[in-house]
Chain A
């Protein structure tokens, strides 16, 4: 481990991580999430079944957060983020009064349930977010309905950005089709995130905070916030 770390200090980091590093990063992430974000459902490690092709040792598996509920309303005010400067100043006072964690709306049309899995991709060597959504009766949501749950600016980003596009393919462990955020740009922007401070790349710091930083970007696609306190541990 020491030799690997010293090599890492010399060679510019490529933004990716190994499978065992992912396991360490996942442990650190789920522990921090539990500590700083206790009101949210927890991230749990799901070990891959022994007979699975991908599992070569006990650290294979993925992180799972299940049954995150998105409350839909016909107004959908909370997910409307495309505000102009003028609008911002006038509605800022109203927004302060709304606590999104305890949102009580008179029009409780539907609750959409989301399952999120963070799965390691051996080919890209980065984490990948898989997700699926379903109604309370278990019926799967089609993608155009999922889009309505996402903040407006995210739809724009997904259409125009080349690093956050969504594909529909088989979950690597569950043999069922899930949606995933394609990982092709991940190592590039992970490299950028840690690039600002080279002193970060020491003593396993990058590995411990990899998923926190990763999630600060990925979570925005679904407007899943990371509490600032959780991010605070990232800075030296």
Chain B
């Protein structure tokens, strides 16, 4: 029953990256990522794409996932419509 653990058989999760506030919108905002990857990979990807070290990254269920969380766990619990929506905002300047 268990599938062999080769890279091709790992479940992939569709991640939809949503800009919020005044964050720049990515040209390509939907990606497939291995479920066994950690959320840190999404954060790092966003940082590289937006050339920013500090981003506020969160999911629609009103929390910011720990970078160590597995994508598949986040998708299982908080995904809907076949994807995991990840929102991002840029670090705003505070008074």
Chain A residues proximal to chain B, CB less than 8 Å: 81, 83, 85, 88, 92, 153, 156-157, 160-163, 184-185, 188-189, 192-197, 200, 209, 212-213, 216-217, 219-220, 223, 225-226, 228, 231-232, 234-235
Contact = CB atoms under 8 A, between A and B. Distances in A.
A220 B60 contact: no
Given A81-B40, A153-B67, 18 more contacts: A85-B41, A157-B53, A161-B91, A162-B92, A162-B93, A163-B91, A192-B21, A192-B87, A196-B60, A209-B62, A228-B74, A231-B61, A231-B77, A232-B61, A232-B77, A232-B78, A234-B63, A235-B62
Contact of A217 (B38, B64, B69, B91): B64
B21 A157 contact: no
**Interface SS, B side:** loop
B91 A160 contact: yes
15 contacts: A81-B67, A92-B38, A161-B54, A184-B95, A189-B56, A193-B62, A195-B20, A196-B20, A196-B85, A212-B63, A216-B64, A216-B66, A217-B64, A228-B73, A234-B62
Contacts of B20: 192, 195-196
A188 B53 contact: no
A219 B63 CA distance: 11
B83 to A, nearest CB: 14
B68 interface: yes
A66 B24 CA distance: 41
B20 to A, nearest CB: 6
3 A-B pairs with the lowest CB-CB distances in the bound complex, closest first: A235-B61, A216-B63, A161-B54
Interface SS, A side:
helix
Interface in B23-75: 36-38, 40-41, 44, 53-54, 56, 58, 60-69, 73-74
A162 B62 contact: no
A100 B87 CA distance: 28
A153 B38 CA distance: 15
Contacts of B93: 162
Nearest to A219: B66
Given A161-B54, A162-B92, A188-B92, A193 B63 contact: yes
A152 to B, nearest CB: 11
B53 A156 contact: yes
Contact of B63 (A81, A156, A213): A213
B88 to A, nearest CB: 10
A228 B69 CA distance: 9
B89 interface: yes
Interface centre among B21, B54, B63 (most CB of A within 10 A): B63
B66 A194 contact: no
A192 B67 contact: no
Contacts of A200: 62
A121 B89 CA distance: 25
B91 A226 contact: no
From B53, B56, B61, B77, residue with most partner A Cβ within 10 Å: B61
A213 B94 CA distance: 20
A209 B73 CA distance: 20
B44 A197 contact: no
